[in-house]
């Protein structure tokens, strides 16, 4: 997996002050995407032990609320194995930190669409496991025709900020609220 940057103190991509990793690779290619430089999975630099330690060093600070996975798409097929390992380790080392995940995939695609599931069985198993370990899932492709600058955590009206634990408890999509 490659990444373009790690933002160590960010207030725009989730609640509180956050560490954000900007993954390379995205197959959605949303029109007027704010990060088209992240689409190419070969862009950026390889995610290595030094990058992981930089994230862990920042997450060890009390003033950091958590980790945000963005990009590109952290759930891009070339990213899922490394993102899975990272999320497992973050949950073990920093159980009080929350994890936000931004992806162009939707909850329904990943958990309810049997035809989609058959396309990339191994990648989809990782995708679901990653989501279930996260706290908030901002789902859906950016659609410029539905752009709404008043939305706090996403860019277009089709995107949802999903509270994962409440969604699992209730068996239906529950939106995250502050």
Q: What is the pTM of this model?
A: 0.93
Residue spans per domain, the chain: 2-170
**What span, in angstroms and rounded, lies between the C-alpha atoms of 80 and 42?**
15
Share of the chain above pLDDT 70, in %: 95
Q: What is the pLDDT of residues 84-141, one digit of tens each?
A: 999 999 999 999 999 999 999 999 988 876 666 566 667 888 999 999 999 999 999 9
CATH class held by domain 2-170: alpha beta
């Amino acid at each position: 997996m490659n990444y373009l940057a790690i933002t160590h103190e960010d207030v725009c991509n989730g609640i509180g002050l956050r560490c954000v990793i900007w993954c390379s690779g995205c197959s959605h290619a949303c029109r007027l995407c704010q990060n088209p430089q992240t689409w190419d999975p070969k862009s950026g630099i390889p995610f290595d032990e030094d990058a992981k330690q930089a994230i862990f060093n920042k997450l060890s600070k009390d003033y950091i609320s958590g980790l945000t996975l963005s990009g590109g798409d952290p759930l891009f097929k070339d990213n899922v194995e490394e993102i899975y390992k990272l999320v497992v380790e973050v949950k073990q080392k920093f159980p009080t930190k929350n994890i936000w995940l931004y992806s162009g995939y939707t909850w329904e695609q990943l958990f309810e669409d049997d035809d989609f599931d058959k396309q990339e069985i191994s990648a989809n198993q990782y995708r679901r496991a990653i989501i279930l370990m996260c706290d908030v899932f901002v789902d859906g492709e950016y659609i410029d025709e539905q752009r709404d600058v008043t939305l706090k955590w996403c860019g277009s009206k089709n995107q949802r900020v999903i509270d994962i634990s409440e969604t699992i408890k209730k068996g239906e999509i529950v939106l995250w609220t502050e």
